[in-house]
Chain A
């Protein structure tokens, strides 16, 4: 049935489209859809995909690399540096404790020291692909569970280098096997002493940082000048490929290298272009990866010893979960954040495929042992989304930060209900001001630490995702007069706005917009009350600056009001205009420059600093003179 590349592509794409659509329809994570599609098209159900599943798995791992590059892009070097303690602390504790416990478990089960050691290493690592995908999908990146998960995963990415370096030492210094078939062990530095390896690794990290500044950014500028859009895609992949190659060459995980590359480029003007270019590829590659995992579940191995596999699987998940819970406890995470972390990282990750087959290549593992562990790995990954659902639907509502707590509402809140979505820096200012006027907004927030604090302060707070219709309903949107959306993420803002506008048209929507472009979109969605966070404050600053230069404050104050009025008008006018043709502006940054240019020109032509002749005696004098001269 196999063989033709086209046919395989059709199978994968059709499987993905059908299964993911069904999963989404049922309100499940897309990961489940992909995994299910993999199982279906795999060798044991429909049999469309055979042995080549393993190769596809290896190829699709590249999705993880791209994903880490993208994550890196979102983390500025300064923030990365400030995370170092969490990365080392939480990651170290999690990996260390898991290895000790799982070593004990496998030693007890009668495995030899070396085998137990290799397996314990594989078990200690979690799946970046699954965990990060879930975190992103649920918008948890900014919560403590999100950053903790990320820190631990990053530490694992680093430690895997040392694991890969360590495993060959277990071969009793026998002749090194040459049948290794994984690119990771063809590393140039494998036979060098650890000191040189470390040096090479540091050098290559430095190389990435320098190349980022002096090679990649200039290259992207050149590419930008050509104006050929597909070249940008090529350039983006060239960067990721080159970094991965370099990293494999010195024996670092390519994912880690890509992450560093992303961090280096996070300050460059091409950040957004790279993001939007790679995003769809990343999602497809990850989808492919999950399908390959599904397809690689060996049901024959399972059928041979279902109890052993089931037992070990449960034991490993419980063990990993326990360690994660303890780690979370040690770093003072709140109960529900701990649970999210625990369920999100309790699987064995894709690195296990690498480590196990590497050890198998070095004849540390036997075929049977490897098969069982590979199946367990794939199964544990498949179980993660299901465990996540159990946690979200059954456990979390009962413990930790509850979705809602009953509280008697006072009179104003009852008859003039205001819902405030998001209580970050922006939303909290809004909420405090409302409260100082006796208006108690019902708050929806994603961060459980904040939710608990707010509840202590006596606010009525609902915890969870504001794009969920049922949460909005239980927060009482049906009786609400106003919904204020003060969240940071433009895409979530749009989702909430669209949902409320569609289902509860009577609710007055007041929406925070990050900038002009988000405001354009909101205007075109039919929203009237749009509050650009970049407008008032920057004008206050500008007018204060002019005041320091000697301009009169009252005149400035009036001009600020004029400017706001004028800018709001131009915003509404420009929103209706068709967007500047994308073909001419392959780079968002350049497009924005062009827009700015248009705005400045407009300022000039329409005379933003209107001839303000009020109270101007000179002006009256001139008019008098003119009249007299007639």
Chain B
């Protein structure tokens, strides 16, 4: 069973309907560590050593966050800046994260159809997530397509329930002996047929 670390970043979690439901899923799972960045580091003073140890103890890393201005909330960027140190995460001797799997789980207000060259956001979510993808590459990690809950502003309760069930199944898949290549062959992990039944 692969150990999963969810790095969660939400500056106003108490007001989030969708993320509250998604996080509830995580709490029922074994071998899943839920790590709430804004609750741990309200002053943005990240304990780098502690974070690195946490990363070393897990196989699958999930960056779980709302999609703010086509990126992550500020504290997750701060986390990446500080924790992924030279000669630890990257550089000649930086191989602490080698071979681990990493992915983004995001929530967006806009629906999927506005994220394309014809939509008002001009680019796809995958294009916006390139910095995360390349961060993973540089650290020798395998980067998976995102799992995205989109159009949250208008999301109905039953649709939300569907997402939470998918998220739960996704965790199961990630903890099993999956082959990365079989999962990488899509734009969103939401589209994987195994999550739908």
User: Taking the nearest CB of chain A, how far is it from the CB of B122, in angstroms?
Assistant: 21
In the assembled complex, the Cα of A557 lies from the Cα of B44 at a distance in Å of 10
In the assembled complex, the Cα of A552 lies from the Cα of B38 at a distance in Å of 8
In the assembled complex, the Cα of A618 lies from the Cα of B18 at a distance in Å of 10
A581 interfacial contact with B, CB 8 Å:
no
Q: Name B153's contact: one of A553, A554, A557, A621 (CB within 8 Å).
A: A621
Q: Evaluate contact between A555 and B12: CB separation under 8 angstroms.
A: yes
CB neighbours of A554 from chain B (8 A): 11, 38-39, 42, 75
B146 interfacial contact with A, CB 8 Å:
no
Q: A552-B13, A555-B12 are in contact. Are A617 and B152 (CB under 8 A)?
A: yes
In the assembled complex, the Cα of A552 lies from the Cα of B23 at a distance in Å of 15
A304 interfacial contact with B, CB 8 Å:
no
Q: Evaluate contact between A615 and B42: CB separation under 8 angstroms.
A: no
- Of chain A, the residue at the smallest CB distance from B13 is A552
A579 interfacial contact with B, CB 8 Å:
no
Q: Of residues 597 to 622 in A, which have CB atoms within 8 Å of B's CB atoms?
A: 614-621
User: Taking the nearest CB of chain A, how far is it from the CB of B20, in angstroms?
Assistant: 11
B14 interfacial contact with A, CB 8 Å:
yes
- Of chain A, the residue at the smallest CB distance from B40 is A553
Q: Evaluate contact between B42 and A556: CB separation under 8 angstroms.
A: yes
Q: Of residues 7 to 33 in B, which have CB atoms within 8 Å of A's CB atoms?
A: 10-18
Q: A615-B68, A617-B152 are in contact. Are A557 and B14 (CB under 8 A)?
A: no
B109 interfacial contact with A, CB 8 Å:
yes
A sample of 26 inter-chain contacts (CB < 8 A) reads A552-B13, A552-B14, A552-B39, A553-B38, A553-B42, A554-B11, A554-B75, A555-B12, A557-B43, A614-B11, A615-B10, A615-B15, A615-B66, A615-B68, A616-B12, A617-B15, A617-B16, A617-B18, A617-B66, A617-B109, A617-B153, A618-B15, A618-B17, A620-B109, A620-B153, A624-B153
Scan A232-263; emit 1 where CB is below 8 A from any B CB, else 0.
00000000000000000000000000000000
CB neighbours of B39 from chain A (8 A): 552-554
Q: Evaluate contact between A557 and B42: CB separation under 8 angstroms.
A: yes
User: Taking the nearest CB of chain B, how far is it from the CB of A629, in angstroms?
Assistant: 14
6 nearest A-B pairs in the assembled complex, by CB-CB distance: A553-B42, A615-B12, A557-B42, A554-B38, A554-B42, A616-B15
Q: A620-B109, A621-B153, A624-B153 are in contact. Are A614 and B42 (CB under 8 A)?
A: no
Q: Name B11's contact: one of A551, A615, A618, A621 (CB within 8 Å).
A: A615
User: Taking the nearest CB of chain A, how far is it from the CB of B47, in angstroms?
Assistant: 14
Question: Which range contains the number of B residues in contact with the other chain?
Answer: 20 to 34
In the assembled complex, the Cα of A620 lies from the Cα of B75 at a distance in Å of 22
Most chain A CB neighbours (cut-off 10 Å) among B10, B12, B75: B12
- Of chain A, the residue at the smallest CB distance from B68 is A615
In the assembled complex, the Cα of A610 lies from the Cα of B69 at a distance in Å of 24
In the assembled complex, the Cα of A618 lies from the Cα of B155 at a distance in Å of 12
In the assembled complex, the Cα of A554 lies from the Cα of B8 at a distance in Å of 13
- Chain A interface residue count, CB cutoff 8 Å, equals 16
Q: A551-B14, A617-B15 are in contact. List 14 more A-B contacts (CB 8 A).
A: A552-B12, A555-B14, A556-B42, A614-B11, A615-B11, A615-B12, A615-B15, A615-B66, A616-B12, A617-B16, A618-B17, A619-B15, A621-B153, A624-B153
CB neighbours of A618 from chain B (8 A): 15, 17
In the assembled complex, the Cα of A168 lies from the Cα of B22 at a distance in Å of 92
User: Taking the nearest CB of chain A, how far is it from the CB of B67, in angstroms?
Assistant: 11
In the assembled complex, the Cα of A552 lies from the Cα of B152 at a distance in Å of 22
CB neighbours of A556 from chain B (8 A): 42
Most chain B CB neighbours (cut-off 10 Å) among A551, A554, A621: A554
- Of chain B, the residue at the smallest CB distance from A550 is B14
User: Taking the nearest CB of chain B, how far is it from the CB of A601, in angstroms?
Assistant: 28
CB neighbours of B75 from chain A (8 A): 554
Chain A residues within 8 Å of B, Cβ to Cβ: 551-557, 614-621, 624
User: Taking the nearest CB of chain A, how far is it from the CB of B144, in angstroms?
Assistant: 25
User: Taking the nearest CB of chain A, how far is it from the CB of B51, in angstroms?
Assistant: 17
In the assembled complex, the Cα of A620 lies from the Cα of B153 at a distance in Å of 8
CB neighbours of B66 from chain A (8 A): 615, 617
- Of chain B, the residue at the smallest CB distance from A619 is B15
User: Taking the nearest CB of chain A, how far is it from the CB of B92, in angstroms?
Assistant: 33
CB neighbours of B14 from chain A (8 A): 551-552, 555
- Of chain B, the residue at the smallest CB distance from A557 is B42
- Of chain B, the residue at the smallest CB distance from A618 is B15
CB neighbours of B73 from chain A (8 A): 615
In the assembled complex, the Cα of A617 lies from the Cα of B153 at a distance in Å of 7
CB neighbours of B10 from chain A (8 A): 615
In the assembled complex, the Cα of A621 lies from the Cα of B151 at a distance in Å of 11
Q: Of residues 37 to 82 in B, which have CB atoms within 8 Å of A's CB atoms?
A: 38-39, 42-43, 66, 68, 73, 75
CB neighbours of A557 from chain B (8 A): 42-43
- Of chain A, the residue at the smallest CB distance from B15 is A616
CB neighbours of A553 from chain B (8 A): 38-39, 42
Most chain B CB neighbours (cut-off 10 Å) among A557, A614, A615, A621: A615
In the assembled complex, the Cα of A616 lies from the Cα of B66 at a distance in Å of 11
Most chain A CB neighbours (cut-off 10 Å) among B10, B14, B17, B42: B42
CB neighbours of B11 from chain A (8 A): 554-555, 614-615
CB neighbours of A617 from chain B (8 A): 15-18, 66, 109, 152-153
Scan B139-171; emit 1 where CB is below 8 A from any A CB, else 0.
000000000000011100000000000000000
CB neighbours of B109 from chain A (8 A): 617, 620
In the assembled complex, the Cα of A616 lies from the Cα of B153 at a distance in Å of 11
CB neighbours of A621 from chain B (8 A): 153-154
In the assembled complex, the Cα of A551 lies from the Cα of B13 at a distance in Å of 10
In the assembled complex, the Cα of A618 lies from the Cα of B15 at a distance in Å of 7
CB neighbours of B43 from chain A (8 A): 557
Most chain B CB neighbours (cut-off 10 Å) among A552, A616, A619: A552
In the assembled complex, the Cα of A624 lies from the Cα of B154 at a distance in Å of 9
In the assembled complex, the Cα of A621 lies from the Cα of B11 at a distance in Å of 17
In the assembled complex, the Cα of A618 lies from the Cα of B68 at a distance in Å of 15
User: Taking the nearest CB of chain B, how far is it from the CB of A618, in angstroms?
Assistant: 5
In the assembled complex, the Cα of A555 lies from the Cα of B12 at a distance in Å of 7
- Of chain A, the residue at the smallest CB distance from B18 is A617
In the assembled complex, the Cα of A146 lies from the Cα of B165 at a distance in Å of 74
User: Taking the nearest CB of chain B, how far is it from the CB of A624, in angstroms?
Assistant: 6
In the assembled complex, the Cα of A104 lies from the Cα of B42 at a distance in Å of 74
In the assembled complex, the Cα of A620 lies from the Cα of B151 at a distance in Å of 12
- Of chain A, the residue at the smallest CB distance from B75 is A554
- Of chain A, the residue at the smallest CB distance from B12 is A615
User: Taking the nearest CB of chain A, how far is it from the CB of B105, in angstroms?
Assistant: 16
In the assembled complex, the Cα of A618 lies from the Cα of B39 at a distance in Å of 20
In the assembled complex, the Cα of A615 lies from the Cα of B73 at a distance in Å of 9
CB neighbours of B42 from chain A (8 A): 553-554, 556-557
In the assembled complex, the Cα of A621 lies from the Cα of B16 at a distance in Å of 11
User: Taking the nearest CB of chain B, how far is it from the CB of A203, in angstroms?
Assistant: 59
